[in-house]
Amino acid sequence: MNQSSNNFFSVSFDLIIVNRSVPYDLFVNSSASEMREKYVRIHPKDDVLTTEDLKTFKKKYFQLYVHETQREEYLTSLIHCSGVSDEKKSEIIKDSAIHYLDKLFDADKEFTTDILSETIQGCKTTVESMVDVIKDYDVSKLQSLIGSLSFHDFYTYDHSINVSMYCIALYTAVKPNAPKEEIVLAGLGGLLHDIGKVKITTDIINNPDKLSEEEFNVIKKHPDYGYELLVENSCDCEGVDFEVIKRIVHEHHENFNGTGYPRKLSALDIHLLARITAIADFFDAITTKRSYHEVLPTEDAIAVMEKTVGKKLDPVLFEVFTKSIKQLVLTGKINKELPEDFDPCQPQNVLPFRTPSPTFKIEGFGDKEKSTGFGKIKKKVG
């Protein structure tokens, strides 16, 4: 086994399961030299680790490690760690998601089908662990959890992970009895929705200033790029419906009224999970605190998003989303809106608010997935 530190990741003592079979090997670095590492196994996979064993390890060793090939087993085991906060578990899950996304976006590595397959398999395991932790969270509780997590210096990573979590919460609200595999698919689609940006230079992706028209036209290609990557690189990942993932990646910038891109799809022609991703995408972009811009309070964010209902966002899904935000009192709404070309996938130095256009009234709050008359838009007079 290669003993490079790149093949091991450190684990917290309190995030190791005890008094049951441990599904991964535990290692320590026995070398005193930082230049020369030597990893030694101290506990074998599938053996029971007792509380006393772990106490002994804490006294003897500064840090424990797990081999990279067993990251999935480690993530899966987190749900069984009693007495550990969801925030701490979520931080570990988020770090693993960043680890997998980083492999995909690494400019020093040539993009291959193997890298894509490995990334998607790892992302699926990450989302499965995420669902185990947050499956009972409403949007309000999830927003608080996301606000407590640390953020990375690459906007696309943090944003994609947050979108994944909001997709899980919204899909669960839309389909309360959905099986876990469906919820995982919703979260995986959110995590991978910006995968096409691997073909766009980071100086554009990470640019928080207003993009030039030429740069924005490049950004608008990322749904097509992502779709092409998934079509051209056939992956084999058990339990993943790639046809659905392709549609989420390709359609998350389509608008409900048919003015989006790349195909100008409208209403129910846009996949349900792409419409869910669009709401999660928008909400995270304007509510999650970043270093480069102030964010909106939840009430103001909902008011801003409400102005795009029926145009950008699915009206009934948005209604479900707002109902999932506990104790939200919509009074004194902000009198601002964002331009139709606002891209939630991009970092922003300043959110580009403008004077509101005429308001719209949404008609037809019936069974949105069955009613052909749903979502008609009527402009107010006066």
Query: Rounded mean pLDDT of the chain?
Result: 84
**CA–CA distance, 204 with 172 (Å, rounded to integer):** 34
For residue 274, which of 297, 295, 248, 293 has the smallest C-alpha distance? 248
Residue 61: give the domain boundaries.
1-71
Predicted pLDDT of residue 374: 30
Q: In this structure, are 28 and 136 located in the same domain?
A: no
What pLDDT is stored for residue 155 in this prediction? 81
Instruction: Give the burial string for 153-192 (b: 16+ CB within 10 Å, else e).
Output: ebbbbbbbbbbbbbbbbbbbbbeeeeeeebbbbbbbbbbb
Pairing of strands 360-363, 376-379: antiparallel
Residue with tokens 């992706």: 205
- pTM confidence score: 0.82
**Residues 59 and 96 reside in one and the same domain:** no
Q: Does 252 share its domain with 334?
A: yes
**How do beta strands 39-43 and 26-29 pair?**
antiparallel
Residue ranges for the chain with pLDDT beneath 70 = 1-6, 32-35, 153, 290-294, 326-382
Q: Is residue 29 part of a domain?
A: yes
Q: Within a domain: residue 78?
A: no
**Based on the structure, what is the number of domains in the chain?**
2
Last residue of a domain, one of 32, 49, 71: 71
- Specify the CATH number for the domain of residue 201: 1.10.3210.10
Give residue-wise pLDDT tens across range 346-372. Answer: 666 556 665 565 444 433 333 444 333
| Maximal C-alpha separation, the chain | 77
Do 80 and 17 meet the contact criterion of CB atoms below 8 Å apart? yes
Same-domain pairing of 216 and 315: yes
Whether 80 is in a domain gets the answer no
Residue ending a domain, among 29, 47, 71, is 71
Residue 79 lies in a domain: no
- Is the domain of 118 the same as that of 218? yes
In a domain, 76, yes or no: no
Asked if 44 and 100 sit in the same domain, the reply is no
Question: Are 171 and 89 in the same domain?
Answer: yes
Are residues 257 and 361 both part of a single domain? yes
In a domain, residue 77? The reply is no
